[in-house]
Amino acid sequence: MLRYTLLILSCLYSSLHLSATVPDLATVSIDSALTWLEQNVADTSENYLVLSLEVKKRAYASGDFYQMGRSHDQLASWYGYHGGFPKDSLIHHSESAVYCFSQTEDKIRLADTYLTLAVDYVNISDTERALETSFKALTIYEAEGDQPGIGKAYRRIALISNQEKAFERALEYGKKALEQAEADMDHYNAALCLLELLQACQGMEQYAEAYSYATRCIELVNREIPDQKGILTRAFSFRGDISINMDNLEQALSDHRRSWEIAVEGYGESPGTDTYRFGIGEVLLLQEKHREALPHLEAALAPFEGNIFNAYPKIWEKYEDLATCYEAVGNYPQALKFQKRAKITYDSLMTNKVNNLEKEALIKYETGKKDQELAAQAVLLEQKNRIQWLTIGISTLFATLFFAVLFLFRRNQKTNTALQAKNAENELLLKEIHHRVKNNLEMVSSLLRLQAVKTKDDEARSVMEASQNRVQSMGIIHQRLYQGENLASIEMLDYFKNLSENIIDAFNASGKVKVIYDMSPMEIDVDTAVPIGLIVNELLTNSLKYAFPGPQLGEIRLSLREVDPQHIRLEVADNGIGKKEDLPVQGTGFGSQLVKLLTQQLQGIMTADYSNGTRFCFDLEKPSYN
């Protein structure tokens, strides 16, 4: 709440101190131009931003990283100072300033810019990066031996830790920061450290310690830096909140009234200073002085109507407080009006958080003091208000579950994407392996062909040609594997057609022998397809060699089908001359021996029928893919 209030107050105060004259920034040095812009960052004129961008161009043209960093830092300050602009612009310039200063020798300026960037990250609820950036600044300050800088980094870590509800860490670094500020006699930073310490203690429900820190802050400001009205208003406001926690409503009312009075003394009566009347209205509401609370709550809510400050996360609660007061004084139309506005504001804020993936920050804010707030309201609110809180709690729970599921889904999606990329890489490598195997087999086949051509021994030539065909049958399988979609299995019908065409071409029998494929498409794993291919290769070769000695046309029938879920049957038959079982084996007999060995490898049984041509039947176990 105070962050938004201070922004209003600072704008009101600084608007009274703008430079009356604008120098010609195109003619003065870059250093002078940047100095003037930094001194007049409160200027809200449209021309100011144009001048800033022009000076940035000059800084980049000079190639001086230090001046480039200053130009980005100044623009970030202007965007942050005036508000109402996309946070992306502010973050962009702050990050660019960090990069530019990192290219210079000025490590202290780099560390200071890191701390500024940390605040920008806090403003977009990215406390993780804010904390990381603050520790980077701390590391630089420690390396440079800059004790005041170390103290500033400690305080920034305490501030971020309070934002994260990490109150123990906030207390630890807040004490370190206070010790350093007191050693440096830096009363301003000491007062800010006390504010962080009281918030940490309040978050840990150590109200007596929190009250003590608030009192020390008030006394320090009054004694050493009485012109710091902003710190003093915050200290009294915080102490008023702590007094509410300690059930000391009279002290709470006194502190909140004093906070408002100091704001008016420092900045005058305005919508900005009226925001400090929230505390007064809250105490009066707790005291059931509803009629007295009404004007304070109405005035405090006025600055939040229809502008960017309506994004204050808890503003809907203030509408509910106002509705409660109107209901208590009998003004039911107004009570209903602000009750509806509370619901609309809450729903709108929740939707915006969901759409911007910022729900985590809202949930932390909602749940941080939920039990305490419900306990304070339970005595004062009617049954319908308790039901309303319950509804809000259930909505928050469902929203939390939704984002948990969304987080898990996105994490699994990233994992699946990585796995898919890895699988694609493995598939490419496997295809490359099959491609190389096929190329190597072709090389072996070519060597056998060359050797066969040079061999004068007919028997040796025949053996080499048969070996060449066997190598080709295996090469076709690897070709099909790297060309196809499935790297684990072969479509056998297409494979048989390709194998048959190659063998028929080798024997120059395309016009003499016709191959009939009595089968449907069937996929077989590669470990089974290779021996089946070799068997078919041997039988086709034998048929072409011996089954059709005359000029007559011949037919060879190939069949591969599933007999039952556990078995497949391979048949190779021709309508050639057949052979008598008592006749000696033609050729070397190696092919027949190879077929028998391959059949045994496939756990199969081979039968032969020579009654009408030659027919071989193989009953094989179906390969398992488990």
Query: What pLDDT sits at residue 611?
Result: 84
Q: What is the pLDDT of residues 514-531, one digit of tens each?
A: 999 999 888 888 788 888
Q: How far apart are CA 609 and CA 620, in angstroms?
A: 18
In a domain, 326, yes or no: no
> Span 257-270, mean pLDDT?
87
Query: What pLDDT sits at residue 621?
Result: 84
The model's confidence at residue 617, banded by pLDDT at 50, 70 and 90, is very high
The model's confidence at residue 580, banded by pLDDT at 50, 70 and 90, is low
Compute how many other C-beta atoms are within 10 angstroms of the C-beta atom of residue 372.
12
Which amino acid does the sequence have at 405?
Answer: V
Q: What is the pLDDT of residues 206-237, one digit of tens each?
A: 999 999 999 999 999 999 999 999 899 999 99
Query: What pLDDT sits at residue 443?
Result: 65
Which amino acid does the sequence have at 257?
Answer: R
- Both structure tokens of 264: 């008016």
Query: What pLDDT sits at residue 10?
Result: 44
- Both structure tokens of 402: 């939704």
Whether 139 has a pLDDT exceeding 50, the answer reads: yes
Tell me which of 364-373, 477-486, 530-539 is least confident.
364-373
Q: Which residues contact 356 (CB under 8 A, 6 or more apart)?
A: none
How many Cα atoms sit within 13 Å of 128 on the Cβ side? 2
Query: What pLDDT sits at residue 365?
Result: 40
Query: What pLDDT sits at residue 545?
Result: 83
What does each C-alpha distance from 385 to 342, 343, 370 come to in angstroms?
12, 12, 14
Full domain range(s) for residue 583: 512-528+540-626
Whether 128 has a pLDDT exceeding 50, the answer reads: yes
> 504 versus 212: which is more confidently predicted?
212
The number of folded domains in the chain is 2
In a domain, 506, yes or no: no
Q: What is the pLDDT of residues 43-92, one digit of tens each?
A: 655 677 788 888 889 889 989 999 998 988 888 888 777 665 667 778 88
List the one residue out of 607, 605, 609 whose CA is nearest residue 621.
605
In a domain, 228, yes or no: no
Q: What is the pLDDT of residues 108-117, one digit of tens each?
A: 999 999 999 8
CATH number at residue 610: 3.30.565.10
> Span 139-151, mean pLDDT?
93
In a domain, 616, yes or no: yes
Q: How far apart are CA 247 and CA 211, in angstroms?
A: 13
Query: What pLDDT sits at residue 576?
Result: 87
Domain boundary among 63, 81, 97: 97
Q: How far apart are CA 175 and CA 246, in angstroms?
A: 23
Q: How far apart are CA 311 and CA 127, in angstroms?
A: 18
In a domain, 304, yes or no: no
The pairing of beta strand 554-564 with beta strand 513-517: parallel
Helix H or strand E segment including 574: strand 567-574
Whether 103 has a pLDDT exceeding 90, the answer reads: yes
In a domain, 46, yes or no: yes
In a domain, 623, yes or no: yes
Top-ranked range on mean pLDDT: pick from 120-129, 195-204, 447-456? 195-204
Task: Please provide the DSSP assignment of 161-222 as one string.
Answer: HHHTT-HHHHHHHHHHHHHHHHHTT-HHHHHHHHHHHHHHHHHTT-HHHHHHHHHHHHHHHH
Residue in the block written with tokens 């011996």: 546
- Both structure tokens of 570: 């391979």
> 365 versus 465: which is more confidently predicted?
465
The model's confidence at residue 537, banded by pLDDT at 50, 70 and 90, is confident
Q: Is the dihedral of CA 425, 430, 435, 437 positive or negative?
A: positive
Domain boundary among 97, 126, 149: 97
> 431 versus 529: which is more confidently predicted?
529
pTM more than 0.85: no
In a domain, 264, yes or no: no
Average pLDDT of the chain is: 79
- Both structure tokens of 616: 């071989």
- Both structure tokens of 551: 């000029």
Distance of CA 226 to the CA centre of its chain: 47
Query: What pLDDT sits at residue 20?
Result: 43
Distance of CA 246 to the CA centre of its chain: 43
Q: What is the pLDDT of residues 14-23, one digit of tens each?
A: 443 444 456 6
Tell me which of 164-173, 419-428, 595-604 is least confident.
419-428
Compute how many other C-beta atoms are within 10 angstroms of the C-beta atom of residue 406.
13
> 283 versus 418: which is more confidently predicted?
283
CB-based contact 67:31 (threshold 8 Å):
yes
Query: What pLDDT sits at residue 549?
Result: 82
Query: What pLDDT sits at residue 311?
Result: 45
The model's confidence at residue 297, banded by pLDDT at 50, 70 and 90, is confident
Whether 277 has a pLDDT exceeding 60, the answer reads: yes
Q: How far apart are CA 515 and CA 554, in angstroms?
A: 9
What does each C-alpha distance from 325 to 54, 293, 340 come to in angstroms?
53, 7, 14
Domain boundary among 97, 118, 147: 97
Top-ranked range on mean pLDDT: pick from 176-185, 381-390, 392-401, 534-543? 176-185
Q: What is the pLDDT of residues 305-318, one digit of tens each?
A: 755 444 455 777 88
> 62 versus 580: which is more confidently predicted?
62
> 550 versus 292: which is more confidently predicted?
292
Q: What is the pLDDT of residues 345-373, one digit of tens each?
A: 777 766 655 554 444 434 344 434 444 44
List the one residue out of 216, 148, 156, 134 whose CA is nearest residue 179.
148
Q: How far apart are CA 133 and CA 112, in angstroms?
A: 11
- Both structure tokens of 61: 């043209």
Whether 340 has a pLDDT exceeding 60, the answer reads: yes
Query: What is Dmax (Cα atoms) for the chain?
Result: 126
